[in-house]
Structure formats: C-alpha cells, structure tokens
Structure 1
Amino acid sequence: MIPDARSASGHVDTFARQHLPPREQWPELLFELPELRYPDRLNCAAELLDHANGARPALYGVRGTWTYAELREKVDRIAHVLRGPLGLVPGNRVLLRGANTPMMAAAILAVFKAGCIAVPTMPLLRARELGTIMARAQVDAVLCAGDLCAELDLLPDCPRTVRFGGDGTQGLEALMAAQPAAFSPCDTAADDVCLIGFTSGTTGVPKGTMHFHRDILAICDCFPKHTLRAQPDDLFIGTPPLAFTFGLGGLLLFPLRIGAAGVLLEKLTPETLLGAIERHRATVCFTAPTFYRQMATLAPRYDLSSLARTVSAGEALPLATRTAWQQATGLRMIDGIGATEMLHIFISAAGDDIRPGATGKPVPGYRACILDDAGRPAGPGTIGRLAVKGPTGCRYLADERQKDYVIDGWNVTGDAYEMDADGYFIYRSRVDDMIISAGYNIAGPEVEDALLRHPAVAECGVIGRPDVERGQIVEAHVVLRPGHEPSPAFTAQLQEFVKREIAPYKYPRSIVYAQALPRTETGKLQRFRLRTQAAKDGA
C-alpha cells in the first residue's frame, strides 16, 4: 500500500472519515519496514484470526480456555448479531464496556470483523463520562457486561444495549446462538477507522484517538516482533484493561498476531497476578510500575520460573522499581513508552540493550527526537519535548487539539525527555510536571525515584507547590509502608535521605503523608489532582 493513500472505504456510515483531522494536520507516517506494507483492502480481525491453527489455545479466562477455533466462532456469531438483529452497517460505532474476559475480547474483535468501529471504555467510568464519549463518537449501539450496566441505565438517551456475560439464556449469548458460525469479514480498506480509543488520565473533554485497520497490525509487527521478540509458545498475562490500548495490544492483539495465547482476568491484585502467573505458567507479563513495585516484595512466595519477559508501561518506571524487581526475580525489566494517540509502545529496549535509567531507543519502524524550546530537533544532553513518528500517529476525532499534538509532521507526546550520546532516550517528566523552583528545573519523577529507594516509602507523587519566594517548591505526597508513622522527625529523615541520593536543591521542602495516591484505572498517577489540591490549600 502506498503510504497515506486513501482507498475506497468499506464503510456505509462515513462518520469516521468525515471527522478525521484535515490531512495537513496529520503526522508524517512511516512504512519503512517491509512488514508494514499492507494491502489496500484489509480487515484486521480476519488477519488475526482466520489463518490461525484452530486447535491451539487462544484465550484463558476464569471459566475455561478458548481455542482459536472457538474464539473465531464466537467472534463470527457476534459479528452476525451486529449486522443482523442489531441492524448495524459498516462504519457504525459500537461502545464496549466490560472487564478483561474472553467475551469482551471476542466482542471487540467482532466489531472489527463486522466493519464497525469499536469504542472500548474503562469499567470504572461513570454515566456522565460515558455520556460524553457516546456523544463525541455518536455511538450507535452498546455491548456491555451485565454487571456494568447500572451506569448506562442512568443515561436518558443511551443507544440500544445488549448485555453479555450472563447465564447464556438472554442477551448477547442468546442472540449468538441463533446466528451462523461463520462470518465473511467486511471488505474494509486498510485505512478505514476500526477503533476510537479515548485517552485516560486527562482533564476536560476526553480526546478520541482514531486508528485504522492497518494500525492494529502495525503495532503487532513493531514492538512485539523486534523488541519483545515474542514467540508462538508464549503466554501473555497482565493487568491493563482491554479498553486501554496498552492492554488491548499486550494481552490480546500481540498474542493473536503470532498464534500465541493470552490470559484475561479481572480485578487483579499484586497477589492474585503473581498467583495467576504461577498457575498458568505465563511467560510474558504486562503491567504498570506500581504493580511491579508491590509484587517485588511478594515474588519470593511464588514460583515465577516460567516468566521470561516483563514489560512496564503506562507511566515512568522508577530505577528503584526496576532494581527491586530484578533483585526479586532475576528478570531485567523491559520499559516502554507509548501513547493512546500512537496506539502502543514506540520507545523501548530489551535484553542486552537495556540501559537502567533510560527508557530505550525507538522501536524499529519508529523515529524519535528531542525538540528544543524553538521546536527544532536538539542534540544529546538537551531536555525537551519528545517527538516521534512511525506507522501509527495521532488523528483526533474532530478536535482542535490535533494542532497541539502534531507539529511539523511529528507527534509531540507531552513528555520531557533527554537523549544521550548513544541515542538512548531518558525520561525526565511530563512537560506540565516540570517544577521550576528558584530558577532550577526539577523533574518530579527524579525526586520520586529517590524517595522510593527509602525502605519506608511504598508510593509517592511529587509536584510543584506554588510558593511566593521560590515560585514553586518541591512537594512530595508519600504513602508509607506498614510499621512506619509520620512525624516531623521522620520528615526530616526523608529529606536528608533525598539530599544524599540526588542534588540537594531537589529535595522536597514539603512532605504530605497520605493513605493512597490518586490514580487512573490504568495505574497512572494523577499528579494534576495533587496540584489542584495544593493550589486550593495555597489559596
């Protein structure tokens, strides 16, 4: 396929193409790897499922195992339900709501295969948030797990909703039973939209990121192939929701692309995830740094000998967490940065290429650079905005913020990074998390990493608190481990500890103790909530 060529759409409902950003606001797309040259006509679900060995296990859930043949049959029956009883046409939007289960996975794949557009949503979203997403994506139908329908019931104009995950006598399962077991995939173009992923952890109106059928395959043919180097006998497991592109890729798309299998479990804790790794003999784990830090202290209780690769993404990986995990398991963490706008990981390193303290280098298929204050690519040693381009890129759903994310063909992620002389990219902070105190630029995550090295600190979040004299001061919000109590003397001890770990001017002049820190459903620390509270306290 010629890069950026527009094929004849397979969509009857043209909403998605009509609401793509103007072409001049798109990032430059790269298809330099030969495996990224996809045909003009492409249905990603068919590519993931229809050529697989039907006898091999595909998905493990609490109710049993589905082979590829069983998964394909369920996907095809759901696709018939979408296009038959629900009366949908290619290009219609289907909101999906469910925890990590094989049925949720099958529903997403069925939407792709039917030529419709999946709009997955986090299980913890409330009615107001769901209503905003529905309005922005102009959703035509909803597939929802039965135990998550309460919030939808509060919406006065909710589209037709079909429930799944019950006893099979009603809802989606009953409709599926009356449908044929085989479905011919919709003849979609490679550049037809199949997924609208809404960003997590943001304030204000959510941003819908639009992804093509070819994008789904592109993320499978870059990071997992060249960096993770996954194999068909791998078994993937982890915590990120399927509604989060980190989880969609790591737990479903990546294993299916190579004929491997994934474990889908809901409501995992560090203990139950470790138990599931032991029970299923999982080989690849995807989760956030917070989980790895908590699991490191528990790991000796479990048999993790099957585990070969562990991937951290979703937020910055502190060096202290990387070290603790390696000491507990012997495994070197594969760090990665991705974005909902880019669909998945685009900078990472594995094996001997890992350099502690650095995220890594651009994944094959992608390029990256640092932009200085003038928006020009900068050389090593400069802290600036991370910019990236590759086979995937930002295309917001009818959103003026497209012009802020894409600059001169680059996707500008909002992360402050530095590149060293060897081409490794080192995370400093989110651009809006940089603290400027008495003229010094201080990266909050660096202070967090120092605090996490103290044995009493379980979690922490660092922000800049408004200050009359210094402009801002460094303020740390700290969760202590059991057995430790806050006190002025303990605060002084932590402050002195940080001064010994990093440059003394970076130490937290204010320490606030908390029982828990605000996080998104995907595990990201919500520093903006800490900043908002600090601003209120200052006022």
Structure 2
Amino acid sequence: MPSPTRYARCRGPPRRPPTAAHKARGRTAMIVSAHVDTFARDHLPPPDQWPDLPFELPGLRYPHRLNCAAELLAGPPDERPVFHTPDGPTWTYGELRARVDRLAHVLTAELGVVPGHRVLLRGPTTPWLAACWLAVLKAGAVAVTVLAQQRPHELAVICDMALVRHALCDIRSVDDLAKAEIPGLRITTYGGDAPDDLLRRPAPGAPYPAVDTAADDVALIAFTSGTTGRPKGCMHFHRDVLAIADTFSKHVLKPHADDVFTGSPPLGFTFGLGGLVVFPMRAGASALLLEQAHPKQLLPAVADHRVSVLFTAPTAYRAMLDDLDAHDVSSLRRCVSAGENLPAATWRAWYERTGLRIINGIGATELLHIFISAADDDVRPGTTGVPVPGWEARVQDADGRPVPDGEPGLLAVRGPVGCRYLADPRQRDYVRDGWNVTGDTYVREPDGYFRYVARADDMIISAGYNIAGPEVEDALLRHPDVVEAAVVGRPDEARGQVVVAHVVLKEGAVRDADALRAFVKAELAPYKCPREIVFSDALPRTATGKLQRFRLRTDGDQQ
C-alpha cells in the first residue's frame, strides 16, 4: 500500500490572502500539496514571475484536488482498446488499469517512492512506458520522461537538475543510463528476465488508490530538446495535463472514441505525450504505439492498423509523399503537424495527394502542447491558425507593446498552461508581464490569423533587408528535387549577413547550386535568394526531429 499522504505548506505563493494579480494568474495564496518531497514546488519560480493563467473556457475549472492519471484512466469500459502495438497484443483499458495499479504498488511499497519524488522514465514508445508514466503520476510522484536516444552526459545533466533518485528504464535502453554513473540513482529495469525486473516483482492485485494530489502539484518535468544549448526543465501541474486535452484536442482535433492515433514523436517529447497518450485516453480512444516511427514505417502502420489520427513533423509529411500510392491511407481523417513550421508547399502537396487538410500548430515544451492552430475549413495554408479556445495570443515589440496587424513582432501567448522553469533565471526572459513570449517572430493578419516568420533569433538581416529563413525554405521546397531545406544567416563584412541555404536533394538529383538560385529568384525577391548553397546528405536535428540551426551557422565547406 502507498505511504499515507502527508500534506505540507510549501514554499511558493506567499502566505497572505490572494491579491487580484494572484487570482488572474490562476493561483491562490496558500497551496496545500500532497507532496512529501517538496523539491519541485520549492524550485518553482517566484510568484511574480509566473504567467497569467486564464481559465474562462468552460471545462477548465478543475477541482482543487486532482490526480490526472486517475482522470485519464477513468471512464471507458474495461473491454475498450487503449494501446496497440505492431506485433503484440492490444491492451484494453481494463488491462491498463490493472497494470498501472500493480506498478504503483511496486513503486511505493517495493521501491520506496513517495509523493513528490522525481522518477526518470526511459525507453522506446511502448505500452509499458505509458503505463509506467501513469503509475508514477497516480502514486503522486513527478514523471521525468527522457528520450531513449539521449546520451550519458545529457542524462546526467537532467538528473542533476531535477535531483532524480529513481529511474524506470526499458532493459534495452539501460546502458547509457548506467554509464552516466549518476550518484544516488536507483535504476529499475523493465522488460527483462531478471527476478528484480519491475514487471516480475511481487505486488498486490488490489486497486491502487490514487494519491490525492492538488490540481497544481507538479506532475511532470519536461526538458526542452536542446536546439539552442543547455536544456530547461519545464514544470507542469496535474491540471495542465488535462488542460491540453480540454483545449486543443477537444476543440480543434475533436477526436472520436473509435479513433486510432499514431505518430512519430516519442513520449519524451510533449508533442508525443499529448498526441499518443493524453489525447486518446481523454477521449476514450486508442493509440498505436510504435517503437520505430520513421516516414517509411508510418504509412504501412496507418494502412495495417486503420489509423485515423496521425501526429508527425512537416519533414515526415513531405518524405511520405512519394510512397503514398503504395499504401492505403483511406482510414486517415486527421493529420497534425507541429515541432517546426509547416511550409505551405508541403501542406498543398499533401492535400493534393490525399484530400486531407493538415492541422498545423505551434506548441512549446514550456506550454506543454499546441496553443495556435486551425482545422477543417478554417485552415489557411501558410499560416499557423488562430488561438486555440482557452488561449490568447498577440504580437508585440521588444518592450511588450502590441504591434499593428501586418507587422512582425514577438509572439506572446497566455492560457491555462504557462511556463514555470525549474530554478532557471531564463524564466524572466520567457514570461514578461504575465505573457509567455515564445521566441518566435510572427505576424497577425488583419483577419486574426497568425503567420510564422522565423524564430526571433533566426531573422537574417542582410544589407538592411530583413529576410525570414522559413520563407526562403518554403521557396526551395517547391523545387521538385529538394527534400529538405534550412536557411540561416552567416556573418559577412560587407552585408552584415548573407543568406546560406543547406539543402538535401532527392537521391540521384544533380547538385546544381546555380539552378537552385535561379529557381528561388523566380519565386522570391532577388535579395532573399541564397548567396551560398550547401548540399548535405542530412540536416542536423535533435532526437525529437527539431532542426539544430545553431550547428548550421558554424557548418563547414560550401559547395
């Protein structure tokens, strides 16, 4: 049985009656936590650095006591399917509930996990990884889900930042975690043959009573994927996990209970956690969990399992175009793209081949999932969309003043989920005057649609011209031989910066830089044309598929 829950007043909001500002930011002045280990709450940012958290949308007014794992597991009948695998048996909701309860008993009674402990989760995308995540949350602990591809140094940094002392790891992914030699870390493997394997340990068959966590107890710490350097730990509450389902999923994606979800993002990436676990479970639907989910594997999976909802990145949609004729994708009704900007050329090519309107979206680890998007007839290629119900967005200048429609500026958003970094001074940069400033340059069109321009630090200024790399990338991608493109600025004594395009071509295509430049000049104003083109076999990306532009800025030889 779990240890008795001990409530404690923890450092965080001040011990005084809530002010109007506190109420506006979605918190009260006195928080009662179920956490015995108060590390997470102790390392939240000071209250005056929190973003505003509006909860006006019906359905977002959650009770003060809430365990998101218990909520996700409740509802669907036991016999309903929840997780499919390519070759293994399908799990039902009843089986998942029983396995989560068993794991929670082992965590608390055998491994000594108490509410508030951070528990690292590592492994390929499987039902067991999802079950471990749910068990950690049901036991009141804090899930720290990392990528199976992360290396010992990266894992050591995360464990040090989050003071992790417990890890549940797929036996196939344990080597790098063991090599990290993290002081005090207790690693428990699952999926192996050892008697002390997590799945072989004795445990009661009785239901596990969910720990009575507060709605704003920290449920998970998600680490940014490292496109710019040292990761940041983003702390999200139990209510946040439900809020992403009750905003984007409910009002934009609109899933059915009979939907089958699948996708490429791993569960260590919040895009995948939402799309493959939270959203289907909140709707009583099911998900096909793929250990390998590259473009060549997604289309057969869609055909074989009659997948209806697909989550993946823009590059994957483009890569799958050539293979569409070989696979039956008639079961698809929803295609979601996030992780990086979706070029209009890719959207149109997918629509022409499938008749499906890709649901574009922008999300952030800091905000857990998608907050600007559009679906169905509201989709406008070349734009991201409009604020998801429950969210607000605006475009502002560096001083926080809104800029007129049609002019570029910094995207600022606020909604039921907000940025709360784990003991990180960069909190002041991300949250300004109650708004989350995402680091993206956007334009708000007069009709209210938001159009992506570039990452704020990726705008290229050449000879006095402002050039958005994604616009040049979109033009390059309209060339039939271009598979991937990334455009960055390189310092230049005469012009300040010059435009450099890194390009991946189709196999067998001729590497002709002059021909590509001529093509772009026919698509865009000449000053936007790349002065240099670098041909590559692949572009540098993080394990979650995000482009690492900082590596391209220091790339070597041009061709």
Please give the range of the TM-score, normalised by the shorter of the 2 chains.
over 0.9
Counterpart position of 1:482: 507
Q: Secondary structure at the match of 2:554?
A: helix
Please give the residue correspondences for 1:134-283 in structure 2 after superposition, counting only pairs within 5 Å: 134-156=159-181, 157=183, 159-167=185-193, 170-175=196-201, 177-283=202-308
TM-score (norm 1): 0.97
State the shift of 1:374 in Å.
2.9
Mapped pair 1:519 → 2:541: yes
Q: Secondary structure at the match of 1:83?
A: helix
Please give the residue correspondences for 1:43-442 in structure 2 after superposition, counting only pairs within 5 Å: 43-61=67-85, 62-156=87-181, 157=183, 159-167=185-193, 170-175=196-201, 177-442=202-467
Counterpart position of 2:555: 533
Structure 1 residues 133-162: Cα deviation after superposition (integer angstroms, max 9, x where no partner): 000000020000101111112123251111
The amino acid that maps onto 1:509 is R
Counterpart position of 2:468: 443
The amino acid that maps onto 1:28 is D
Q: Matched residues in 2 for 1:522 and 1:321: separation?
A: 20
State the shift of 1:327 in Å.
1.5
Q: Matched residues in 2 for 1:309 and 1:204: separation?
A: 34
Is contact 1:7-1:190 (8 Å) kept? no
The amino acid that maps onto 2:234 is T
Q: Secondary structure at the match of 2:200?
A: helix
Counterpart position of 1:32: 56
State the shift of 1:270 in Å.
1.3
- Bigger mean CA deviation after superposition, 504-513 or 5-14: 5-14
State the shift of 1:330 in Å.
1.1
Is contact 1:94-1:118 (8 Å) kept? yes
Q: Matched residues in 2 for 1:533 and 1:511: separation?
A: 12
Counterpart position of 2:513: 491
The amino acid that maps onto 1:210 is M
Structure 1 residues 343-371: Cα deviation after superposition (integer angstroms, max 9, x where no partner): 00000000010011100000000000001
State the shift of 1:76 in Å.
0.8
Q: Secondary structure at the match of 1:35?
A: coil
TM-score (norm 2): 0.93
State the shift of 1:482 in Å.
1.3
Q: Matched residues in 1 for 2:434 and 2:88: separation?
A: 46
- Aligned pair in 2 of structure 1 residues 38, 523: CA closer, same or farther (>3 Å)? same
Q: Secondary structure at the match of 1:88?
A: coil
Is contact 1:96-1:142 (8 Å) kept? yes
Q: Matched residues in 1 for 2:224 and 2:405: separation?
A: 30
Q: Matched residues in 2 for 1:170 and 1:83: separation?
A: 15
Structure 1 residues 237-278: Cα deviation after superposition (integer angstroms, max 9, x where no partner): 101000100000001000000100011011222121100000
Counterpart position of 1:13: 37
- Aligned pair in 2 of structure 1 residues 400, 309: CA closer, same or farther (>3 Å)? same
Counterpart position of 2:66: 42
Q: Matched residues in 1 for 2:498 and 2:425: separation?
A: 33
- Bigger mean CA deviation after superposition, 180-189 or 107-116: 180-189
Q: Matched residues in 2 for 1:515 and 1:271: separation?
A: 17
- Aligned pair in 2 of structure 1 residues 333, 168: CA closer, same or farther (>3 Å)? farther
Seq. identity, %: 59
Structure 1 residues 288-308: Cα deviation after superposition (integer angstroms, max 9, x where no partner): 001000011111111111000
Is contact 2:374-2:385 (8 Å) kept? yes
Is contact 1:115-1:194 (8 Å) kept? yes
Is contact 1:371-1:384 (8 Å) kept? yes
Listed as ranges, the gaps of 5+ residues in structure 2 are: 1-21
Q: Secondary structure at the match of 2:437?
A: strand
Q: Matched residues in 2 for 1:104 and 1:379: separation?
A: 46
The number of residues matched between the two structures is 532
Q: Matched residues in 2 for 1:56 and 1:198: separation?
A: 33
Select which of 507, 519, 529 maps to 1:507: 529
Structure 1 residues 203-233: Cα deviation after superposition (integer angstroms, max 9, x where no partner): 3321000000000000010001101111111
Is contact 2:227-2:542 (8 Å) kept? no
Q: Matched residues in 1 for 2:378 and 2:131: separation?
A: 36
Is contact 1:518-1:529 (8 Å) kept? yes
- Bigger mean CA deviation after superposition, 400-409 or 156-165: 156-165
State the shift of 1:53 in Å.
1.4
Q: Matched residues in 2 for 1:340 and 1:260: separation?
A: 24
Q: Secondary structure at the match of 1:532?
A: coil
